[in-house]
Amino acid sequence: MGKPRLLDLFAGAGGAGMGYHRAGFEVVGVDHVPQPRYPFEFHCADALEFLQEYGQEFDAIHASPPCQAFTDLKSMPNAKCHEDLLTPTRDLLKTIDRPFIIENVEGAPMVGAYIVLCGTMFGLGVADAELWRHRRFELSRFDVLVPPCAHRTRDRVVGVYGGHGRDPRRVIGVYGSSGGRSNRDGTQQFTVQERRTAMGIDWMTGRELSQAIPPVYCEFIGRRLLEVLHA
């Protein structure tokens, strides 16, 4: 019997996909932007069109619709208007008889019970800095017991957004494409290699890291999902 197949929508460079792969799934990614470093089978296509045509061929579906409509940055004076793709993604997923996961940022309008994962639950970080990077996961047709966050410090944190002159803490963000250490608006950034270490990702560029989630998040969810599918 082959591995269960999982469709990874809005796949980016494969942070979520790698997690499901490590959990034991055969992963197929879809994104409308070419992703030359995506580590599994990949289709450059519209995610919702692909889902509508091929969704029934998979055992489970993960979707990470663009988050810009829900992040704190949406209130910045120069913020652009971004389309809500989360709602139509959920609506279409509900028409397909498969377990699904929707991932997005804090502030995203999740429906029903959802979980929040944080890097400290899995010991992620680099040197003396923790990875927080909270993400919401809306789960359909299965549930997951979540460990508590284990924040130890508020001095050196990877993946907290809020420098920009408003946050006096020494915050290190997983964003941008800087190759070396830098300071911007009072916020120190790690190098790309340090951010890769913190995220548990070794194949992405700095810009790709800024859009990714740590693979361990979806490995954690995927292992529980496999139990449900096998049951």
In tens, the pLDDT along 18-40 reads 999 999 999 999 999 999 999 99
Check whether 158 has a pLDDT greater than 60: yes
Query: Which two tokens mark 128?
Result: 């003396």
pLDDT the model gives residue 140: 97
* Angle, helices 47-54/86-93, rounded to nearest 10 degrees: 0
pLDDT the model gives residue 113: 82
Counting beta carbons within 10 angstroms of the beta carbon of residue 213, is it exposed (0 to 12), middle (13 to 18) or buried (19 or more)? buried
Domains annotated for the chain, with CATH where assigned, are 5-230 (3.40.50)
Check whether 168 has a pLDDT greater than 60: no
**pLDDT band for position 177 (cuts 50, 70, 90):** very low
Q: Is 44 left (phi over 0), alpha (psi -120 to 50) or beta?
A: beta
Percentage of the chain surpassing pLDDT 70? 78
Check whether 189 has a pLDDT greater than 90: no
Check whether 66 has a pLDDT greater than 90: yes
Q: Which residues pair with 130 in a beta bridge?
A: 125, 157
For residues 115 and 146, the answer to whether their CB atoms sit within 8 Å is yes
Check whether 117 has a pLDDT greater than 80: yes
* Angle, helices 215-230/15-23, rounded to nearest 10 degrees: 40
pLDDT the model gives residue 47: 98
pTM for this one? 0.85
Averaged pLDDT, 100-124: 94
CA distances from 2 to 21, 24, 208 (A): 13, 10, 31
